[in-house]
Chains A and B, each alone.
Chain A
C-alpha cells in the first residue's frame, strides 16, 4: 500500500467524491483518512461546504418580477 500524505489526499477529494478515482487509489485514500483525525475532520468540512453555501445563497425570485418579466418579453416581441 502506498502512503498517502494529507496534502496529496486533499488533491484527490473531488475525484473521490465524484467516483472517478481508480479503485486502488480510492482504497489507499480511504485507509489514510480512516487513520488520520485531521483528514477525517477536513473531509467532513469539505463535504459540507457546498451545502452550507447552497442554503446560504438560496434566493427566491420576487413574485412581481415574474409578472414584469412576461410583460417585458411581450413588449419586446411586439415591437
Chain B
C-alpha cells in the first residue's frame, strides 16, 4: 500500500482510514499530532495531561472515523474531540483556582474614562522586556490556567491556535457572537494580568 502523500486532503485520508486503511490513519496522526499536543498542553497546562489527551483524542478519532460523515471538516471534528479530551482530564484533576482574573479587568472613573494613565495602560506591551523567557512562559501558563473554563477554551482555540471565529464556534458548538464575547473577556483579563507582571496595577 502506498504511503499517503502530503498533498492528499484530510477528508480523503479520513475516508480511507474509515475504510480500514491504517497508513491513511497514521498519516492523519502524523499530520496533526504536534498541533493536538500543543492545543492539549495549552488547555490542560501540563505535559502529562497533554500526552494523555493526545492519546485519548486519536483513539477516539480511530474509533469514530466510520461515523465521520464529513458534515464538518476533518480538522474541526478533530479539534472538537481533542478539546473535549483535554477538558475531561482537566476536570478529573478538579483543581479549583483560588485566584480569579477579575481583578485584572480595566477600571474606569464615574464618566467611563480609563482610570489608569497611558503609560500604565501600555504596560502589558513591555512584559517581554521585564520578564525573561522562561519566567514569562511559566506566568503565561498560570494566567491561562486561571481563566474561567468557557473563556479558556475559546481563547486557546481562537488566539493561541489561531482558528477562525467561525471554526471555533463550530468546534465548541456555540454561536460566533458567543465566541467573540468569551475571547474578548479572556483578552481583557489576560491583558491586565500581563500588565501586573510588569508591576503595574490594573
The chain A residues found within 8 Å of chain B, CB to CB, are 5-8, 10-11, 13-15, 18, 20, 37-42, 44-46, 48-50, 52-54, 56-61, 65-66, 69-70, 72-73, 76-77
Contact = CB atoms under 8 A, between A and B. Distances in A.
B114 interface: yes
Contacts of B122: 41, 44-45
Contacts of A56: 133, 136-137, 139-140
B56 to A, nearest CB: 11
Interface stretch (B8-16, B86-94, B183-191): B183-191
Contacts of B5: none
B112 interface: yes
Given A48-B124, A52-B128, A69-B29, A20 B180 contact: yes
A46 B119 contact: no
6 contacts: A41-B122, A42-B114, A46-B188, A50-B187, A52-B128, A69-B55
Per DSSP, chain A at the interface is helix
Nearest to B162: A54
Interface string B132-152: 010011011101100000000
| Smallest CB-CB A-B distances: 9 pairs | A5-B112, A56-B140, A14-B184, A50-B159, A7-B112, A41-B121, A38-B114, A45-B124, A41-B118
A54 to B, nearest CB: 5
A77 B188 CA distance: 45
Contacts of A69: 29, 33, 54-55, 58
Interface residues of B, number: 56
A6 B117 contact: no
Contacts of A76: 59, 62
Contact of A53 (B38, B51, B143): B143
B91 to A, nearest CB: 21
Nearest to B116: A38
A5 B113 contact: yes
B191 A45 contact: yes
A57 B37 contact: no
Contacts of B123: 45
Of A39, A42, A53, which is in contact with the most chain B CB atoms at under 10 Å from its CB? A53
A2 B34 CA distance: 48
A61 B38 contact: yes
B45 to A, nearest CB: 9
A49 B194 contact: yes
A18 B117 CA distance: 27
B107 to A, nearest CB: 9
A70 B26 contact: yes
B42 A57 contact: yes
B188 A10 contact: yes
